[in-house]
Structure 1
């Protein structure tokens, strides 16, 4: 439960700090990066609290993260890319 809260609270804080004029819309986009966890549906079991998501699920691989970094370049996809990379960072912290 704490993990889900962090995936909502941290993007909210980043949106408020760096995108203040439009922080609510940006927060929704950053929080929507939780959609990356749909790749957990292909795992057995779907949820394992002891499993590290990084490099296990296909949307959490280093290759996928490279794509997320490339998505930082076009302005249209930049906020989504930031959300995806925040999500990866938070998931990585769970692996430590």
Structure 2
């Protein structure tokens, strides 16, 4: 239960903190864009089973691959894609943390 709380806490509160700190005048719009990073979880729909609580998403699903992650990081450096890039990287940070907790037996 704690692993789940940490995982989803990062998913929701890391983007919120970034939106409030760096984009305060328009933080709600920015926060919504960051949350669009959840769309990369659509790649779970092609996995069998679709959801497995003991599976690490990183480099298992194609939108969680190392190549995709490097593209998300690069997106941060281009102004037109910066917000979605930050949202995607926040998503990857949450999933990476979940993998680390899973591998530590948490």
Point out where structure 2 has 5 or more consecutive residues left out of the alignment. Answer: 101-106
Of 18, 21, 24, 1:20 maps to 24
Equivalent in the alignment of 2:14: 10
Moved over 6 A (4+): none
Equivalent in the alignment of 1:78: 82
RMSD of aligned Cα (Å)? 1.3
Aligned runs of 1:1-96 on 2, under 5 Å?
2=5, 3-96=7-100
**If the length of structure 2 is used for normalisation, what is the TM-score?**
0.83
**If the length of structure 1 is used for normalisation, what is the TM-score?**
0.92
Higher relative contact order (CA 8 A, sep 6+): 2
CA distance in 1 between partners of 2:10 and 2:73 (Å): 22
Point out where structure 1 has 5 or more consecutive residues left out of the alignment. Answer: none
CA distance in 2 between partners of 1:33 and 1:19 (Å): 17
